[in-house]
Amino acid sequence: MPSRRQYAGVALVAVSIACGVPRFARADPAPVSASPAPVHAVPSPPPAASPAGLADPCLALSSLVSRPTTATSACAVKRGDLLIETGYTNQTTSGAGAGSSVLYPQANLRVGVGRNLEFDFDPPSIERISASPTISGATDTSFGAKYEIGYTSRLLYGVNALFTANTGNAATSSNGDGILANANAALTLSPAVGLFATVGYNAQSAGTPVAPARYHGIDPSLGASVSLPSNFSFALEGFGQTSTGPGLGGRYAFDTAVEYDAGSRLQLDINYYDYLGIQNGAHPHSVGFGASYLIGS
């Protein structure tokens, strides 16, 4: 909403539910979701209207934030504003390769640079993998842009792209560059219920520095969000990957999230991911929490 170890903290450094930022996936069959990212298709009623007479659905914080689900928000941050999204994920794998890993701060910095256009920057996170001895290192760095194409009275749509640079440690990175391109949308069904979706093309590196490899696939996600009393909201999402690594098939999963809007600038969330079925004898699932803070208008 998941390099993105991916698919795919508590550190407000400078990544709700308008839709989730997936982190790039590694060849490892048990990626940690970061980005994951995330999603509220039912924005709060905005105070202003566009020249065409339609209320702008991207004024509410809940519409802008992309964590913690996998789908990506269709809304772009307004010009001159900065949205900081960050989180912490603890993933546990049962079966083959049983163990756990943590990922933080999963920071996603989003800056409005033009009308309906934003620049995105994901600095490295720290990943700690249970092993003997414990493996710890920095993940890769990603940057890109998002464009909010437009909206109607019920439908919101846009696109975004992210490039991953191989800046992390060999044990905790994809050991190569990658690209992710998404088409994003949100549909309002009622004042309290909405749908959100992202369809992405993912081309990533894998393997090791000595034996590099690449793979690519389509990453779909579809979910529903519900506004609850007292500034809470809930989301349920299904998502998948047609390929999780070189020579590996697809995998599908679901996630749930609860968000709380602590005012118009701060949103808190907790989330749970579960990958359906077993791949290569492994079954990963994760829990996490995070926060998003808007600086500007």
Q: Look at residue 202 and tell me if it is in a domain.
A: yes
Q: Look at residue 206 and tell me if it is in a domain.
A: yes
**The predicted structure's pLDDT at residue 40:** 55
**The predicted structure's pLDDT at residue 185:** 98
| CA 130 to chain centroid | 24
Q: Look at residue 77 and tell me if it is in a domain.
A: yes
Q: Which residue ranges of the chain lie beneath pLDDT 50?
A: 1-39, 41, 43-49, 51
Q: Look at residue 37 and tell me if it is in a domain.
A: no
Q: Please compute, for residue 160, the number of CA atoms within 13 A of its CA located in the half-sphere on the CB side.
A: 31
Sign of CA dihedral 154, 156, 109, 67: positive
Domains of the chain: total? 1
Strand partners, 284: 93
Q: Look at residue 14 and tell me if it is in a domain.
A: no
Tokens 């992210």 belong to 162
3-state secondary structure the chain: CCCCCCCCCCCCCCCCCCCCCCCCCCCCCCCCCCCCCCCCCCCCCCCCECCCCCECCCCCHHHHCCCCCCCCCCCCCCECCEEEEEEEEEEEEEECCCEEEEEECCCEEEEEEECCEEEEEECCCEEEECCCCCEEEECCEEEEEEEEEEECCCEEEEEEEEEEECCCCCCCCCCCCEEEEEEEEEEECCCCEEEEEEEEEEEEEEECCCCEEEEEEEEEEEEEEEECCCCEEEEEEEEEECCCCCCCCCEEEEEEEEEEECCCCEEEEEEEEEECCCECCEEEEEEEEEEEEEECC
Q: Look at residue 278 and tell me if it is in a domain.
A: yes
**The predicted structure's pLDDT at residue 206:** 87
Are 170 and 201 contacting, i.e. CB atoms less than 8 angstroms apart?
Answer: no
| Domain of residue 65, CATH code | 2.40.160.40
Rounded distance between C-alpha atoms, residue 223 and residue 255, angstroms:
9
Q: Look at residue 5 and tell me if it is in a domain.
A: no
Q: Look at residue 236 and tell me if it is in a domain.
A: yes
Q: β-strand 193-207 against 135-138: which pairing, if any?
A: unpaired
**The predicted structure's pLDDT at residue 282:** 79
Q: 129 is in which domain, residue-wise? A: 61-295
**The predicted structure's pLDDT at residue 53:** 74
**The predicted structure's pLDDT at residue 21:** 35
Q: What is the pTM of this model?
A: 0.82
